[in-house]
Structure 1
Amino acid sequence: MGLATARPGASFIGSGATAEAIAAKDWSATSLGEPEQWPQSLRVALELCLHSAFPMVIFWGRDLSLLYNDAYHAFLTDKHPRALGQPAREVWPEIWDVIGPMLHGVLADGKATRSEDLQLHLMRNGRREEGYFTFSYSPIPDDDGTVGGVFCPVVETTERVIGERRLRTLRDLTALGRAETDADACRTAVDALSADAFDLPFVLIYCFDERRSRATLVAASGVAAGRRASPMEIRFGEETEDIWGLAKVAGREAGRTELRELGEEFGDLPKGEWSSPPTEAALVPIVLPGEDRPAAAMIAAVSPRKRWDSAYSYFFDRVAAKIGSAMCDARVYAAERKRAEEIRSREAALRRTEAELREAQRLGRIGSWRWSGRIDDGGDASEHLSSIFGLDPAIPLPSFAQQKGLLYAPDVWKRLNAAMQKTLQTGRGFDLDLPARRADGASIWITIRAEAVRDESGEIVGLRSTVQDITERRQAQEQVELLMHEVTHRAKNLLTVVRAVARQTARKDSPANFAELFDQRIAALGASHDLLVQNDWRGVDLHEMTRSQLAHFRDLFGSRIRVDGRAVMVRPAAAQALGMALHELATNAGKYGALSSDEGMVRISFGVQREDGAPWFVMAWRESGGPPVIPPERPGFGQMVIVQMAKHALGGDVALDYAPTGVVWEIRAPLENVIETTGGDA
């Protein structure tokens, strides 16, 4: 952990590029002003943000100015570092119509929001791109109790959302019914592809004749047939303009996807789901299984909001492969000639499909299961389903009745059985997240998606389902929730102390006195907080904390200030209370007590004592050699801190004696309330 410093008063704890940029920036020209004037709540939130490896951003003030950490750079790209301190409306004008009302809503009512897979089209590296994000907007209280800003952890889910969308498209293609001709197969496929106008703003499929001298448009989606970009027929080598260059595709032996720029010669093009037309299209050969040359070509527009990459290319290749398989099936049903060859092609295609399915099941941790509905039947399961439950794939699954207690707890089995029986009765499928256990006893979480199986007459004869292992996702979700609860808890505790300090300080002091005393007390609280942060909230060394709270008397240590005691680590809650108490005692000693003269001394001691066999923490502050002590006429905030606050925080007893020879303060508390122990006494 480093300290990035640009000039006096502008220092931030952090070691990343953003921390250095914040420290180096001239903030005087921004609405946030100089960092030393920033509210304490903002500084605390910013410190949490800078130390997180998770992308986080803070929107502060009426302008919702941006502060963020290194991980957030992935969303800003070339907008960093100029986005630092700038109003959110200027940083994100392209999505302000979406996030602006959400942010102002949090400022207005103080209620947090959560968005999952929200579509936001960001301008990144000079191009507006399709994006999806999961994030939350949480209010950050200002020091006066109002909402001062918004805290936002965010994760980009673009690749997953787009991947799932493309997988649905491929699944829909796989589920197509039988076609009688090539043209029917292509039209049916294009009808399915039209549902994904995000990835495919328009699609054209041209089939080649046997001599590959002509291309005929057989299917189109998103664009009407017969237009400039979609001629009904192209005769190669004749006067007909081959605007797409399909002659080269038809004569090519090995299939290879080509990318074409869409200029003015293609005329007005459809936009699909976007506000602007595509600028690129892919020419994808459609090669039937078992053949060398393409039988057709698919012209598919590339989304104007997504860059062409290997994943996009793979998606188009798989679409073409699915269409090729559909055309192959159509030829099998349309003619009996070349029957043996076509059967081999179908078997090869089936093997590839099964291999892809097994690979998809392995990568997605998904198994499949088909069940007759009889409780004494174990059903038919895929190899990966046995792997999920730690069973031997060579041995049939235990019957569903035997799975009770073996794979599912009785109450979970009862819930699953009820869902399956309902599906067998009504035909409606179900989707359940359930706890389960492997054969070795290890606990897991699974998602079961099931539907009814019907025979040719429509009667329900069983059930089929997929079973996905979601253990890691579930554990990750629980971990994120735990961390968010912990951050919220600590922030609330700190803000509670700050509010108490403010109320007590302002109760009887003038405004000028309040400002000085409040600043000093917050600084004392901040010193303890800094030490806790440096130690990842695992505690604070008591010697180090004492020197930190008495830093303005550092030249007196060893001569007029003595600290006796073994090195011990104080718990976070105790550290804040003891730190505030030491600050108040030192302030009083410097104004009226032993440290206000040239000869007075202060002795601070701490350690562990046993009473009735139980360990107790004891600490004392003893002054001597100073002016005669005059007890205060009435107790003030300082006395409340060193007596009541310390007593409440440590759960012990506090004694304060205004002896004429010097103030004596003692505290005793159960050891486990104060000191971090590792198995023995400190």
Structure 2
Amino acid sequence: MATESISDRNEMARLIAALDWHNCALGPMRDWPACLRAAVEFALPAHAQIVIFAGDDYVALYNDAYATTIGNKHPTVLGRPAREGWAELWADLEPLLHEVRTTGNTVSAQDRPFHIDRHGYVETVHFDISYSPIRDEGGSIRAVLCIVAETTERVKALKAERRLSAIVASSTDAILGMDLDRNITAWNRGAEVLYGYAEHEILGRPVTLLVPDSRPEEEDLIMAQIMAGNLIDTYETQRRHKNGSLIDVSLCVSPIHDRQGRIVGASKIARDIGSKKQAERLQRLLMGELNHRVKNVLATVQAIANQSFGRDEPERFKPFSDRLRALAQAHDLLIQRSWEGASLASVVDGVASAFGHERFDIAGPDLHLPPRAVVTLSLALHELATNAAKYGALSVPEGNISIHWACSTETATFRLTWQERGGPTVTPPTETGFGSMLITDALAAELNGEVELQHQPDGTVCQVRAPLDASWD
């Protein structure tokens, strides 16, 4: 092999030409057997990854394409015996080379694992390999030609694909795939259970087979989102069973990309929510019945009270009637929220609206009250507003009331201030009535906090302080 002919071709050609072969087991390049020189000439310009292990010591010669696969071993392993350069896998590599060298057979394998140190740590990599003998004119084997292709990433992808396939196959959710023509291309066991079709019955058929006639545009909207590359978050809809019945499902849809990143289809995951929807319908039915009965009870109490002393003692009856209406209003607020509590703003707004919203200055952050606090706070604010209408700021046109509240995340506390301004001079009451006890005692107990009611000359002030707990979200 003439060194001049290879020295200008590529990096490995220059490295091989520059190496001091006199101190190598192979000796000077001019003394190499013609078959080895020819093999090197063949390997150097090739795009395939090629390494040649020559002589009894399996001295390494390789091309540029192979150099990229051995990491920090390059270029120190060039011209060195394989047992030195690949010491960590020599027990695995040597039998392969020995078999080729002694039998003359070609050894090949796909995705063969090797444990190699090429970045400062031993890692498992995979190669497609073809090891074949290089023979001289007399038929003697002088070297082993190794043509390899690293498949580590492909093996990882295949393993991930198999894991994903196993997950899909065993999932109880219905998972299906479809192409851009909306034909079903994949169908798992969960889909068979949910929709009633066996895999062989549904593959290749249009996905619209599962869409109810009442939702003709749904697939068009889904496909438009998929073609835009968007993931469709879980939403509730209906699908059609093989027997024609409609199924309540939660559905999410994702685009499927090919190796070039192009969208080639979509995957759909559906979950049967029939039991959930049935439970929601039953809950609504029971809630409606409960609300109806509670309203009837309140109306009955109102009627009994009206008949008992409303006509004869209207002045004594009115506070009771007003409180009953405030209780009904709080009850209606809870009904609107399915008895899951209500926001403090909605409670305050309800009281302010009953007495003239324009007379109130309301400010505070969004705060959710648990159901138990909604009723008590509604009644307490109603009592304050009633007293203000009789004796305080709401009893004169120029009076007004501010209701401000704030939360402290550092101390986990809540504070509300009721402040009356512009009303007549306030005279503290000489007796403590039911209303005052409702404002101070009942509200403090319900909120597990403190309530301070001050009848100052320029207006009544009520301070509410309470800890925030987990239900105040």
Using CA pairs under 8 Å that are at least 6 residues apart, name the structure with larger relative contact order, 1 or 2: 2
Q: TM-score range by the shorter chain?
A: 0.3 to 0.5
Report the structure number with the largest CA radius of gyration.
Answer: 2
